[in-house]
Structure 1
Amino acid sequence: MEQATIQCLGCVKSKIPVAKSYHCSAKCFSDAWQHHKVLHERASSSLNENGAEEEELFGRFGSGGSGVLSTSGSGSMSNFGQSPGVNNGPVPLYPSGTDKNSGETWFEVGHSRTYTPTTDDIGHALKFECVAVDAEKKAQVGTPTSIMTSRVIPAPTPTPRRLIQVNGDVIGHLDLDSQTSALGTFTVLSYNILADASATGEAYSYCPTWALSWTYRRQNLLREIIGYHADIICLQEVQLNHFEDFFAPELDKHGYQALYKKRTIEVYSGNPLAIDGCATFFRKDKFSHVKKYEVEFNKAAQSLTDAIIPAAQKRVALSRLIKDNIALIAVLEAKFGNHGTENPGKRQLLCVANTHINVHQDLKDVKLWEVHTLLKGLEKIAVSADIPMLVCGDFNSTPGSTPHGLLAVGKVDQLHPDLAIDPLGILRPLSKLNHQLPLVSAYSSFARMVGVGYDLDHQRRRMDPTTNEPLFTNCTRDFTGTVDYIFYTADLLTVESLLELLDEESLRKDTALPSPEWSSDHIALLAEFRCKPRIRR
């Protein structure tokens, strides 16, 4: 965290909490202004509408009391209170009071210190009622005090992203319910959704607090994910409790079967339920589950140190290698038929790997070792089954790095400067750093597109011509670059179309990601594939 060097005088005059008025530099303040000025507007609104200042209200209700949030409705909306807000506390099925002056009926929608409005609240005012409680006597002290909001408005929704054929022709908007894969093709989505435990105000101070709350983000993420209509979904940074309580049941409603692998916890010291992992979903009408493999890099590290590290150095070696990272590998069987192949009656299997290589940038040797370990495991599956493969995830590796080179080229440049960092000797000999999978990055197809046109030109501008990868898949105030990929085996699969890339300038209007529109610091990647016919030998 950087030292604060500048304070906003507008915050001082508006009596906004001091912690929110400081910034590390003039540039930091300028970058955050789009969201920071909202604090001023809220303070002014709070003073004008409620007759009290925002700081005083937070101070009054911040501790030592209980709160009840209600929503108003007219007589025709008498059943409104029967729709409970998700995770906003228990909601009774009866009105909590009627205003004698307006005739409006108030329904209790939450009973907790915080509340995030739901879609059911749109168009209604919210009233927060707080009363001080004597903790020892467990009795109310004094009379309740309340504040009321203006009418709830819909949350901002991002512009739908289009699916674009690799020849440059636009297929259509993915938010349309009619959007489905072409006959014999399937779509794959890869998305790091940003775990709630990591979505802190300290890390993303430019994003409004309400837009960082999980109750808001999860609905926004679900709406986005469902809108892509992907046949296979690979998510990273999915907390265990959120998988079990939200994503698995919600995506089940849309016809998806779920697989999950949480990260290991040898290093992790937080809440076990908040540990994140990788979740893979597939449409039950298009695929059936054949087999699941779980890769724990901690176990691989243990085996590696047992084999090559002297006993005296083993403890130091494990502290460097063990990062709790995992990979989830699923073998699926297609139900849509082996269209276009020479063996239409043969089973069409597909292997999908989903991983998050979360390793500190200084540990380049560990990152490369994990990617190499995953690829050697996939090699064994490919040899035994001879099936198409997809390798999806957040690799925390930019184009030009050794992990990216290993994935995209099948080997590592032995003169790469990253290879100089190998204190444990786990990368030696360098000649072993290869694999035989014919992997290609799906989004490199944009760079190979031919022809002219408005959409093609825009996609080319969002690609790096030197690496044939997107200019970015992760966009925060401190870092913008590509770390997420969908790789495929080009001998058995071909790319039909890709989800269009986003424009950095348009995202920067909200400073960076996440934002009220986009609820992760990463963008989703999606590719449509077709199985190639097998060549008879």
Structure 2
Amino acid sequence: MDLVQLRFLPQTGQCEMVVKLNVVFEGININEEIHSVRKITDTIGSLIEHTKNKLTKIINDKKSTSDNQITDQFYDIPVSFKRKSHKHSKVFPNDESLQLFLLEDHDKTIVQIFDKKFLLQVNPPLIKNIQLPKILYASYVIQPSKFHALYTNKVFSHFTWYKSLDLISWEEVGNSYDYTINKNDLGHYLKVVCVPVSDKLSEGPPAEAISQRTVQEFPELPMCPFQSRHQYTKNILQKIDFRFLTYNTLSNRYTEMNLAFSYCPSEVLAIDYRKQLIYQELKGYNADIICLQEIDNREYNNYFREKLSELGYVSKFHRKGHNISEGLLCATRKTRYQLLSCQQVVLTEALRIKKLFEPLNQLLNKNRDLKKSFMKQSTSLQVTTLKCKEVNRIMVIGNTHLYYHPSATAIRLLQAHIITSYLSDVKKRMSCEWKNFEVDVILCGDFNSSPGGAIYNFLSEGSIPADNEFCLQISEEGKVNFSHELNFISACGTPKYTNYTDDFKSCLDYIFIQEKKIEVKQIIPLPEEELEQYIGLPNEVYPSDHVALVVDLQFKDQI
């Protein structure tokens, strides 16, 4: 028996019925896929009427075309939902809500449209979007660059890979979610076909994606400007000295999603190219602590985790907000640090459940629009605690990437306040636990805030006036009281550029250290003047639209 699919669409709060019809009605051949959509709060009767109206329009349109005159007739088209049993059939009442209907057992529910009967499938798996990377390089692992599916278990689903020279004749080459491109694939197009499978092992309609270009040879890596920076980082530090790095590496999620980097050739914008440069750059800095933003989940699991381990690092990665495909990474040198903990703090979750933020919650409850905007963000803080093996120090490392929107300074200020409050609380707890150790806090990342702005001033000065324009956006009554006692300074100062694109160039990235406890020994020079010869980053020698901040630091007096 043919199938009717009925799905709840969580993102829109709607219910969609899909049926492939091939019937003849009053001499009109209807061979189409019908999509009927109603709100989940609507009734079965509403869905039936919507389906009838769609079919009526199709019939009238076809008759108008064949008769060369407009037809607007009404047709009493049979459409019903019935539960079949061995004795009789039960027709579902039209006033039953779709929400309740979807909760019922529908193993034997039949949908009749015209004189045809279909077996109902509720929430069968469906692939909404599947795509392959724009550039394919031989000798690298490929996966779908986009895979958006509903009611689908990727582990149970069936993936089949094919290659072709002419897009006509296809040869099967693989049967898993990943496919390792080999030299024999050079010059071929690739195709992946997926049959989605649900947790209950029901199958949905297959979907496929075909590469836009053929597989090509990976190019020889060029000499890059970061290699001149490596001249300052050849030595390995020890004892009270350590090298710290922060770097927004530009997620593949954003290069694939938009045309913001149209000035960069596709071949070098591809993540398989850029990740080679990122790795070579990180390797040459010999940093003791590495904090990265916009690392892709797939690239961490398939590439960076192993590569960093080979260099002697323990690395931890968290997807931003637990659900975004890119996130935060902290890597620490195993010979120098014992990893005590590494956790992700989603700022909206912290605001909602942490007693520490009850006063802020009460404040935001008086500004519902701002709170609503704030709670939509997935901004996170990665907190790593380390025990130094060579000196009696505990380090609390905060790594973050604040909300980007230019007009959202008030939201970033709220985020900065939550971050400093949380880090101060962790410092207090660690100081109680490790009484014979000095506890140091470092906060780094992409703050999407330029020098002299509210966020930079708040972090570096320790407070912000209640009558600041952004504080007044939070509380018109001037009740904002944001301050911290972390005594931060920007270890690398305020470079001219840390972010460099064709339409925006500024300093957005910082490493904030506690001035009374840590001092700067050497700032690894940034290529500020050299950047100005380019329209924007990334390009063939710069793998990101940001540049890495690298600094040699030294602990001050020991206990």
Q: Determine whether 1:154 maps to 2:220.
A: yes
Q: Matches of 2:384 and 2:293 in 1, distance apart? A: 15
What is the alpha-carbon distance in structure 1 between the residues aligned to residue 423 and residue 137 of structure 2? 54
CA–CA separation in structure 2 for the residues paired with 1:147 and 1:156 = 23
* Contact residue 357 and residue 370 of structure 1 kept, 8 A: yes
Post-superposition Cα deviations, 1:301-323, rounded to whole Å, max 9, x if no partner, equal 43657534559x75873234431
Task: Give the structure 2 partner of residue 35 of structure 1.
Answer: none
CA distance in 2, matches of 1:484, 1:70: 32
Question: Could you tell me how far apart the structure 2 residues matched to 1:156 and 1:212 are?
Answer: 14
1:517 alignment partner in structure 2:
541
Of structures 1 and 2, the larger Rg is shown by 2
Structure 1 unpaired stretches of 5+: 1-68, 72-83, 90-107, 134-145, 164-170, 266-271, 339-346, 445-468
> What is the number of residues matched between the two proteins?
367
User: Quick one: which amino acid aligns to residue 533 of structure 1?
Assistant: D
Mapping of residues 350-361 of structure 1, within 5 Å: 350-361=395-406
Identity of paired residues, percent?
Answer: 24
Specify the alignment match of 1:38 in structure 2.
Answer: none
Secondary structure at the aligned position of 2:533 is classed as helix
- The aligned residue for residue 417 of structure 2 is 372
Alignment of 1:166-245 (within 5 A): 172-174=231-233, 176=234, 179-200=235-256, 202-245=259-302
1:202-230 residue CA offsets vs partner (Å, 9 max, x unmatched): 01000001111111111111111111111
SS at match of 1:219: helix
Report the CA distance shift for 1:310/1:414 in structure 2 as closer, same or farther (over 3 A): closer
Q: Secondary structure at the match of 2:268?
A: helix
Q: Which position in structure 1 is the counterpart of 2:443?
A: 391
Q: List aligned pairs for 1:1-400, cutoff 5 A.
A: 84-87=139-142, 127-129=186-188, 153-160=219-226, 172-174=231-233, 176=234, 179-200=235-256, 202-264=259-321, 272=323, 275-302=325-352, 307-310=362-365, 314=368, 317-335=371-389, 337-338=390-391, 347-384=392-429, 385=431, 386-400=438-452
TM-score, structure 2 normalization: 0.58
- 3-state SS in 1 of match to 2:439: coil
Alpha-carbon distance between aligned partners in 1 of 2:219 and 2:276, rounded to the nearest angstrom: 15
Contact 1:195/1:237, CA 8 A, preserved across alignment: yes
1:325 & 1:280 partners in 2: Cα distance?
A: 16
Which gives a bigger RCO, structure 1 or 2 (Cα 8 Å, sep 6+)? Answer: 1
Deviation, structure 1 residue 158: 1.1
Partner amino acid for 1:522? H
Q: CA deviation at 1:326?
A: 0.4
Q: Secondary structure of 2:315's partner?
A: strand
Distance 1:147 1:252 in 2: 33
Match of 1:475 among 496, 500, 507: 500
Q: How far off is 1:428 after superposition? A: 4.6
8 Å CA contact 2:189, 2:215 repeated in 1: no
Distance 1:412 1:310, change over 3 A: closer
**Could you tell me which amino acid in structure 1 is paired with residue 254 of structure 2?**
S
More strand by share: 2
Question: Any gaps of 5 or more consecutive residues in structure 2?
Answer: 1-135, 145-170, 193-212, 432-437
Residue identity opposite 1:475 in structure 2: Y
State the AA in 2 paired with 1:330.
T
TM-score by length of 1: 0.60
Task: Quote the Cα distance in structure 2 between the aligned partners of 1:381 and 1:320.
Answer: 23
Contact kept in structure 2, 1:390 and 1:486, CA below 8 Å:
yes
Which amino acid in the other structure matches residue 307 of structure 1?
Q
Name the structure where helix makes up a greater proportion of residues.
1
Look up the SS of the partner of 1:421 in the other structure: helix
Distance 1:316-1:372 versus aligned 2 partners, 3 A rule: closer
State which of 512, 528, 532 in structure 2 corresponds to 1:487. 512
Deviation at 1:354, TM superposition (A): 0.6
Could you tell me how far apart the structure 2 residues matched to 1:183 and 1:321 are?
Answer: 43
Tell me the C-alpha RMSD between the 2 structures.
3.9
